[in-house]
Structure 1
Amino acid sequence: MELERLAIRARLRSPWESIDLGIALARQHWWPLFIVWLLPASVVFACSFWLLHDSPSWALLLVWWLKPVYDRLPLFIASRALFGERVSVSGALKQFFSLNRRDWFAWLTWRRLSATRSYDMPVTLLEQTSGSARAARIGVLHRKHSNAATWLTLTGFHLEFFLFLALLAFMYLLIPEQVQIDWLPMLTNSALWLEWASNVLYLLVMAAVAPFYVVSGFCLYIGRRIELEAWDIEIQFRSLRDRHLRAQKDRQKRAAHATTAASLLLLCVLSISTLLPAEDASAEAALTPEQSRETIDQVLAGEDFHQQEEVSGWRLKELDMDSEIPEWLIDFVQWLENRQLASDKEREVDWAAHIGLLAELLLWAAFIGLVAYLLLRHREQILQSLRWQRKKPETRLRPETLFGLDVRQSSLPDDVCAEVLRLWRSGDKRGGLGLLYRATLAHLIESYQFEFGDHLTESECAQLVRQRQAHPQPEAQRPVSAALCELVQQLTVAWQQLAYAHRAPQLAQVETLCNQWQEAFGNED
């Protein structure tokens, strides 16, 4: 796989970010995706119109059921576009039968109603796996992102339905007010031409939504592969390799240009002769690709990578049959029975009242379900806000060493500044400045409750001090003065230059730092 040609940035994404990426990719290539989905679906629709002319509902069901057949063409175009390759509509249509040759029966039978169809289709189409290998691959992919794929399918289904209703309403609004149409006979008699017209409209809606659904599921699959196979790390390694090869070529060119002078040629020969043994030794020590692959296979075959446990089963729901029916349920049923759904004078059924009652019940059920979901979803935040739970006091462990320096208060001398100057004048500059730096860290941890850890660098510790000085925290934390912040910044820079660059500051600067340290921490001692 040529990851260098990847048209997107290979990084870890949440499932919703992957879906957003799929929507953006589908918008960019929507027209060819729409055409390659619509053309085979239109052929099936035309055949169903000829064979099932008197049964428009069955014809639409047949077109809808064959969705996995049409989805493979947009997926094929999106998979090529992801790597910068453009596929024409005619080129994709030529691949129709070859793309639908594998597992077509399974996708049209027991897999047809799968809620993760767009997420699983790339395994069949792109990885060309089937049987136990496909089942194992699907099991790995479904450990994450399967919920997002299910929600994507539900969202796509509802989007098709609402878009279809919106188009019907839009067409109704285009009819002039002067045109009087009696819709009731058309709807009650089920006019055949009206049903076929609505089928054509729904076909266009499915073709418009399909590219977003297919490509979003494909990007969800790509995001999972990036996480599993570390594409981002591999791309970085490949770029480092290419940079190293370019540097080698540049060195070879510079060496070739140096042949004009005899003295430089001699120096190049000597330098190359000295470098060759080291390269040969490293080449001998390095493993061949076959040996590396065998080592990796042996590690992956170990027990540490095969500890999997999957538990599934059915259990009966516990029901309390002895409990009495609640009074509110009885009252609610009686209220439903007593509602007047028909006129006293006219015994005809009032369908508007029935529909209104059903809509009211559905709205109340949705509202109650939403409230219950929100209460369950955010129960921890609600309990914390009401103070029904008491948090256990966290015991903060103070570090004993940072950056290899002992930051315990007990390890410091009584007079820090005097000891620092004594060590400095005796020639132990690193020990003197290190003592002043670790004494500063110890006082910041002890007196100002800074939570420094080994995961931080010296600059990050100084940044935390600057942030508290610029943005004072609540009264529970001691504020940092501007003088102390300046001392920490200067001392950090001086210590880094001495520890890593081996550039010692002047004695006057050390004395100034000691005076500032005495003003900041002298009263605490």
Structure 2
Amino acid sequence: MNLERLAVRARLRSPWESIDLGIALARQQWWPLFLVWLLPAALLFGACYLLIPESPNLSLLLVWWLKPVFDRLPLFLASRSLFGESVSALAALRQFFAQNRRDWFAWISWRRLSPTRAFDMPVTLLEQSSGAARAARIGVLHRKHASAATWLTLTGFHLETFLLIALVALIYLFIPEQVQIDWMPLFGGDTQWFEWTVNALYLLVMAALAPFYVVSGFCLYIGRRIELEAWDIEIQFRKLRDRHQRERKHREKSKSRAPLAAQLMLLCALGIAAGAAPEVRADSVDTPQEARETIDEVLAGEDFHQLEQVSGWRLKEIDWTQSEFPEWLIALLEWLENRPRDTDQESGWGPFVGLLIEILLWLVVAGLVIYLLWRYREAIVRSLQLRKKAAPKKATPETLFGLDVRQSSLPADVCAEVLRLWRAGDQRDGLGLLYRATLSHLIEDYQFEFGDHLTESECAQLVQQRQRQSEKAPQPDAAPQSGEEARRPVSAPLSGFVHQLTASWQQLAYAHRAPETTRVETLCGQWREAFANGH
């Protein structure tokens, strides 16, 4: 994650400012975001039309329920474009299954009705967190912005409803008055093609609003990370570092050009001395009266008399005393009033209402079962004496924060090389070697899963969390409950060393404040105790 390529200004924003920023970004690239959401959803909708043509409402319910699956591609595109990487819609569609590989079942089961879905999904998709780490991360993020994320979901739901009604009303307005349509069979559910048409319109409405909902939630997440991790301060430090390096290079070039500059300055001084001084005329100065007339002429110009015409939508004033109600509305009200109430007679609404109630009841039962399984999952696992399978080992990163963390890139004696570079005046490379050697050993020996989405401080916090977990480790005769205990424990001296080294490296890398030589020698001694001696 290269903060220098951030496409927006990194500053503290309120939750509503972050949502406005997401809407602006979604407007800029709405078309590709719309396509990557619509095409998979339309493919599923078309498959349902071919397989179960008699159940249009069930097909729409399935597409609506799988919204978290379709939201991932717009989030993938928005995250790449925010950091200056251009990804086409076709390339994003090829990533459909790869982006839905992590926690897909959770998002279409107990997390499906989460009111903060757009705010929480970047934690799964971008940070690739799961389990206890995800829960802790969500808890930190929700301390401030959870309310705004909930209102974002509620607003999106109501906008979908309003736009669907508006779209149907717009189509109705295009029907000529001479065309007489019998609306009763349509509203009674006797024509499946009408239900499929309305559902297709609702699918288009969902696809049109999805980019704004997903990108707004993503910007809400980015705003919270800027607040927690001080991205704005880090970017300013990096700019100061770059400017310092440019000024140093400029001074070095200036020293080499000093004789030539002195000659040019001497020539310029001789030319000025030889030139004639301009003659100032007393009559060129305007009097106060002339200046006032000039000001009046400027104020009388067109630049100060521009007219602006503003147009917009307004509510139409309707005289309800003289207006006539449409005939179809009167016929609908009469049909509702005079429809048969005998249960023995057939009614078009009965099967539909019964099916809807049955679906809602099954959803409630399924949700209750899923909640109970999730709530008491640890007790169930302990009672069945099951052990979770170890997750496949992730690929070891080769670079972190621009540093090479491969074991093959390290010298045989790390501390000796660090002290040699430090005494030779190459302080940044010396301390950088010690820091990247520490990261390399933490990844290889202690199985830490550091990634580009983390900062230096977050890596040190992960080491500290492992050290706290090691102190609270269960007794040897207790059965392990997860795969975390299988990792190598971290001692308190190692955690303290990583914290001190990280602070020294950040001060040197971003603030250009080099630590004292004795401190570097102490850090090298601690490194030998932590890694070279096998502790």
What TM-score comes out, normalization by structure 1 length? Answer: 0.51
Q: Give the Cα separation in 1 of the matches to 2:225 and 2:152.
A: 18
1:162 is aligned with what amino acid? F
Q: 1:163 to 1:298 in 2, by over 3 A?
A: closer
CA positional deviation for 1:80: 1.0
Q: Give the Cα separation in 2 of the matches to 1:216 and 1:233.
A: 23
CA positional deviation for 1:285: 11
Number of matched pairs: 290
Deviation string 1:138-177 (CA, Å, 9 cap, x unpaired) is: 1111111000000000000000001000011111111111
Kept after mapping to 1: 8 A contact 2:164/2:202: yes
2:181 is aligned with what amino acid? I
Q: 1:63 to 1:287 in 2, by over 3 A?
A: closer
Q: Equivalent residue for 2:147?
A: 147
Q: Give the Cα separation in 1 of the matches to 2:178 and 2:238.
A: 70
Q: Equivalent residue for 1:60?
A: 60
1:149 is aligned with what amino acid? A
Question: Structure 1 unaligned runs (5+)?
Answer: 262-275, 307-525
Q: Give the Cα separation in 1 of the matches to 2:88 and 2:43.
A: 19
Q: Equivalent residue for 1:6?
A: 6
**Map 1:199-218 → 2, pairs under 5 A:** 199-218=199-218
Q: Give the Cα separation in 2 of the matches to 1:82 and 1:106.
A: 27
Q: 1:99 to 1:301 in 2, by over 3 A?
A: closer
Q: Give the Cα separation in 1 of the matches to 2:233 and 2:113.
A: 37
Q: Equivalent residue for 1:326?
A: none
**Map 1:229-378 → 2, pairs under 5 A:** 229-257=229-257, 289=435, 297=460, 301=464
Q: Equivalent residue for 2:46?
A: 46
Q: Equivalent residue for 2:185?
A: 185
Q: Equivalent residue for 2:228?
A: 228
Q: 1:15 to 1:243 in 2, by over 3 A?
A: same
Q: Equivalent residue for 1:122?
A: 122
Q: 1:64 to 1:9 in 2, by over 3 A?
A: same
Q: Give the Cα separation in 2 of the matches to 1:40 and 1:299.
A: 38
Q: Equivalent residue for 1:136?
A: 136
3-state SS of the aligned residue for 2:90? Answer: helix
Q: Equivalent residue for 1:405?
A: none
Deviation string 1:39-68 (CA, Å, 9 cap, x unpaired) is: 000110011111211011101001111111
Q: Give the Cα separation in 2 of the matches to 1:108 and 1:115.
A: 13
Q: Give the Cα separation in 1 of the matches to 2:462 and 2:63.
A: 49
Question: Structure 2 unaligned runs (5+)?
Answer: 262-421, 440-455, 470-535
1:144 is aligned with what amino acid? K
Deviation string 1:276-310 (CA, Å, 9 cap, x unpaired) is: 999789999999647997999499959xx99xxxx
Q: 1:80 to 1:192 in 2, by over 3 A?
A: same
3-state SS of the aligned residue for 2:254? Answer: helix
Q: Give the Cα separation in 2 of the matches to 1:236 and 1:88.
A: 31
CA positional deviation for 1:190: 3.0
CA positional deviation for 1:86: 1.8
1:246 is aligned with what amino acid? R
Q: Equivalent residue for 2:400?
A: none
1:155 is aligned with what amino acid? T
2:38 is aligned with what amino acid? L
| Larger RCO of the pair (alpha carbons < 8 Å, separation 6+) | 2
Q: Give the Cα separation in 2 of the matches to 1:225 and 1:240.
A: 22
Q: Give the Cα separation in 2 of the matches to 1:295 and 1:194.
A: 55
Q: Give the Cα separation in 2 of the matches to 1:12 and 1:179.
A: 57
Q: Give the Cα separation in 2 of the matches to 1:190 and 1:253.
A: 84
CA positional deviation for 1:129: 1.1
Q: Equivalent residue for 1:85?
A: 85
Q: Does 1:161 align with 2:161?
A: yes
CA positional deviation for 1:211: 0.4
Q: Equivalent residue for 2:176?
A: 176
Q: 1:294 to 1:80 in 2, by over 3 A?
A: closer
CA positional deviation for 1:186: 2.3
- Of 196-205 and 247-256, more deviation after overlay is shown by 247-256
Q: Give the Cα separation in 2 of the matches to 1:181 and 1:125.
A: 49
Identity score, percent: 68
Deviation string 1:311-332 (CA, Å, 9 cap, x unpaired) is: xxxxxxxxxxxxxxxxxxxxxx
Q: Give the Cα separation in 2 of the matches to 1:281 and 1:53.
A: 72
3-state SS of the aligned residue for 1:143? Answer: helix
Q: 1:277 to 1:56 in 2, by over 3 A?
A: closer
Q: Give the Cα separation in 2 of the matches to 1:94 and 1:296.
A: 32
Q: Equivalent residue for 1:345?
A: none
Q: Give the Cα separation in 2 of the matches to 1:29 and 1:282.
A: 41
1:85 is aligned with what amino acid? E
Q: 1:281 to 1:97 in 2, by over 3 A?
A: closer
3-state SS of the aligned residue for 1:203? Answer: helix
CA positional deviation for 1:185: 2.5
2:131 is aligned with what amino acid? G
Kept after mapping to 1: 8 A contact 2:189/2:195: no
Kept after mapping to 1: 8 A contact 2:36/2:73: yes
Q: Does 1:96 align with 2:100?
A: no
Q: Give the Cα separation in 2 of the matches to 1:69 and 1:295.
A: 29
CA positional deviation for 1:2: 1.1
1:171 is aligned with what amino acid? I
CA positional deviation for 1:252: 2.2
Q: Equivalent residue for 1:112?
A: 112
**Map 1:352-501 → 2, pairs under 5 A:** none
Q: 1:178 to 1:147 in 2, by over 3 A?
A: same
3-state SS of the aligned residue for 2:71? Answer: helix
Q: Give the Cα separation in 2 of the matches to 1:78 and 1:144.
A: 23
3-state SS of the aligned residue for 1:142? Answer: helix
